[in-house]
Amino acid sequence: MNFNNTFSRLPDIFFTKLNPAPLDNPQLVVISPSAAGLIGFESSSQNLDTLTKMCGGHELFSGSAPLAMVYSGHQFGGYSPQLGDGRGLLLGEVVNDQGEKWDLHLKGSGPTPYSRSGDGRAVLRSCIREFLASEALHHLGIPTTRALCVVTSDTPVYRETTEAGSTLLRLAKSHIRFGHFEYFYYTRNHEALKTLADYTIENNFSDLEGMQEHAGTDEGYRLFFAEVVRRTAKLIAKWQAAGFAHGVMNTDNMSIIGDTFDYGPYGFMDDFNWHYICNHSDHQGRYAFSQQPEIGHWNLGRLGQALVPLFDNAELIQTALDEYPKIYTDTYMELMLTKLGISNKQEGDDQLVTDLLQLLHDSRCDYTIFFRTLCDLPSDNAKHALTERVNHPSLAPWLTAYHLRLATGTTDHQARQTQMMQVNPKFILRNYLAQQAIEKAEKGDYQEMESLMAVLTAPYDDHPDLEHYADAPPDWGKKLEISCSS
């Protein structure tokens, strides 16, 4: 692989160089062929053996330059002055045959200067959860980091119980977070702040219209921040439309390029609940599902504040930030109407969506199954299934309004059904499915993970032999408690 380690050529204040700490007897658990294709990795037995040794800390790819990045961030609303890669290393940047640059980041690689007394390790369950989620979201069309592989080992890691030390190799076009900019703002190192901004723009935003002409000026930085605002708003709108909750939207977990980043106690909603909290540690509900759009806006405000020293006219920051609510709302409404099979927005559509969400919330209907069943209307089977699942007096009047709205469109039933089935997944990564895969993997059985990946990488298809993955969860599966522990 062709490495071009641009980040490692920045001043030393941005990172600490060090190598991974070896794991005992590393073993490959799973690899994503889709992610492997991004960096031209061929899964021969020799390559897989080398990959396993590398992810286990025993070898380095030729040309890589491992380092731990420094950053800070707002965590649950409070500022933490120094965080950084406490259990991961940026191994280097691979350039593929298409000229795309992909970061290779090893999570669980051992202690770094930013570990804050931690062991720098990850455990198998957290690596599997990130692997499954990043690949699942990608195939749902939601911007995300990717996961190349998971490796486990015989190294003991002590959490609530003794677990197996494991690593995940993450791919991303950038690992720069909002918190990177906050670190240099709050340490008042404005020269480094400018270096970071210029580096980020050159590597990930240089193709913005007008950027080449205005690089290094107020207008160039405005274009940069406005694009971060746009990408973040659209990302969170996609989370909301998919029923996905991130769980820990701290600013150090926010990607500057608008990817879903740092998977922890995430969750796809089963029964729809506006106030769904997927993180058992989030006692105040700061990162509840309903709060995600507002938190995205708040986090962008913290990033905007960190960028103030770059501007002569800081009002441009607020101007860009003020665009967030409209971008988010327009994107979310467009996504929801598409899920309903409505392509030409009309007056009253906002209310149709609002009424549906209230109906789903009041009835606690399964969000994913509801929309997939809706695709089959106006069949009698679909009507019966909806009536059984929703079981709420508001369903009949909403369905009447929905049918009247569809009648004003120009799309026939067959075309509408086809379109709806391409945006309403049959399969999502439910917490209980991930838990079942984890429990089997911890016993050395990785087949469940492979079967689950088959539906997650083609979530809109039927998969008749794997139909059970589309079922509503059992009662115990709705009560799993996921926290930040890893």
Q: In this structure, are residues 133 and 8 in contact, taking their beta carbons and an 8 Å threshold? A: no
Q: How many angstroms separate the CA atoms of 39 and 414, rounded? A: 39
Residue with tokens 């200067």: 113
> Pick from 160, 156, 157, 125: which is nearest to 29 by CA?
125
What does DSSP assign to residue 473? P
> Pick from 168, 156, 157: which is nearest to 127 by CA?
168
What does DSSP assign to residue 477? G
Q: How many angstroms separate the CA atoms of 267 and 264, rounded? A: 9
Q: How many angstroms separate the CA atoms of 36 and 42, rounded? A: 7
* Measured CA distances, 457 to 41, 139, 140, 398, 429 (Å): 19, 5, 8, 33, 11
Which amino acid, one-letter code, is at 111?
P
Q: How many angstroms separate the CA atoms of 291 and 359, rounded? A: 19
How many CB atoms within 10 Å of residue 167? 31
> Pick from 232, 243, 237, 241: which is nearest to 267 by CA?
243
Q: In this structure, are residues 328 and 233 in contact, taking their beta carbons and an 8 Å threshold? A: yes
Q: How many angstroms separate the CA atoms of 317 and 225, rounded? A: 7
> Pick from 327, 336, 330: which is nearest to 296 by CA?
327
Residue with tokens 């002590």: 158
Beta bridge partners of 260: 144
* Measured CA distances, 396 to 356, 391, 409 (Å): 11, 10, 21
Which amino acid, one-letter code, is at 23?
L
- Catalytic amino acids? 252
Helix (H, G, I), strand (E, B) or coil at 247: coil
Q: In this structure, are residues 444 and 28 in contact, taking their beta carbons and an 8 Å threshold? A: no
Q: How many angstroms separate the CA atoms of 104 and 169, rounded? A: 7
What does DSSP assign to residue 380? H
Q: Is the dihedral of CA 117, 123, 125, 130 positive or negative?
A: positive
Q: How many angstroms separate the CA atoms of 291 and 461, rounded? A: 31
Q: Which two tokens stand for residue 272?
A: 């729809």
Helix (H, G, I), strand (E, B) or coil at 401: helix
